[in-house]
Amino acid sequence: MKPCPSLFLQMAVLLLVLYGPCSAQPKATPLPPLQAAQTEAVDIVANSGFEDAQSKAWRFSDWPPREGTSDRLIAESVLYSDNVVHSGKGALCLDLTTVGEDRILLAQQQLSVDRLAPHDGKRLRMSAWAWLARGPGGYQGVLTLRQWGEPGTPPLSHQTLRVPAIPGEWTQCATEFTLRVGNTRKADIGVGMRQVPDLDASPIVYVDDVRLEVLEQPELSGNLLRGRTVLQPDPAIPVKVLVSDSAWEDGQRRLRWDITSADGSGSYAFGNVALPAPVSVLEAPIPELPEGDYALRLALGPSAGARTHELLLPFRKAEGPYVR
């Protein structure tokens, strides 16, 4: 007597309920809550958001120099405004409709060597936001940091960045560099907006959040060497790990890695390694996992499994061209 087809169906359903489909997500081991440190950048520009209209941090002028040039002379050309702001309650308005041809409106701030010296050798980020209220499409200003040596000599160095201004939209420009103080006696940071040839299209530009930020190195950082997509059947994910000098000297030299869910809450595979140097490269083997979003969770500490400092690096596992 042959078994009834409905009996096979019932058994298949029972097996599916008991064991799940063969392609089901592997069970993850719960991990303690992620304690990823948030590193804050330190801004060394005073009144960078143009909130305090009474502040003397910024000096306004135009270029080329003309007789009697002063803040008062261009009071209607460069001014604090609350008409359009990126953050806070104020911004700076540079109105080129108030000046003639071949003029540049400037806002500059002096930076003493005492403000720069503590950050010698560190990474800095210079940035600004701009909004074009009036003017031609594709208009750009300039953001510049200059470092000066002996009086009467050219700048020792300078960082220059184009400031794109788009009609009716806040746009950010930013660049990063390593500060070298050297023989610097003083420095200045400034934003300039140039007049256009067609005076009927003279720009009105709002500028906000002009910043010069010190990017402190986190105790633990890292980056995936092959990007954020792992193609099957790659067996491992390579990562470059960087430990700060202070953490390394403090004995934070053991690293635990976990292949986790996208939010880092559950582990599918893990390992512990003694880092050979503050900058190290390692490969974390990837277990059999279906395609999807995952993360590499790194934990630094003085002993195996310790989690003094943590980092989460998201990645996606996808089918590659050589999968059979």
- Predicted pLDDT at 231: 83
- Predicted pLDDT at 7: 44
- Predicted pLDDT at 235: 87
Q: What average pLDDT values come out for the chain (324 residues) when binned by 10 residues?
A: 45 35 69 80 95 94 73 78 95 95 96 95 94 95 97 94 94 93 96 97 98 90 87 87 91 96 95 96 92 95 94 87 50
- Predicted pLDDT at 41: 85
Domain 218-319 has CATH 3.40.50.720: no
- Predicted pLDDT at 112: 96
CA dist list (Å): 59 to 92, 100, 127, 199, 282: 12, 20, 18, 25, 51
- CATH of region 42-215: 2.60.120.260
CA distance 163 to 146: 16
Listed residue (249, 246, 316, 242) closest to 282, CA to CA: 242
Q: What number of CA atoms fall less than 13 Å from residue 241's CA on the CB side?
A: 32
Listed residue (104, 103, 83, 101) closest to 93, CA to CA: 83
pTM over 0.85, yes/no: no
- Predicted pLDDT at 319: 77
Listed residue (102, 92, 60) closest to 204, CA to CA: 92
Q: For the chain, what are the domain ranges?
A: 42-215, 218-319
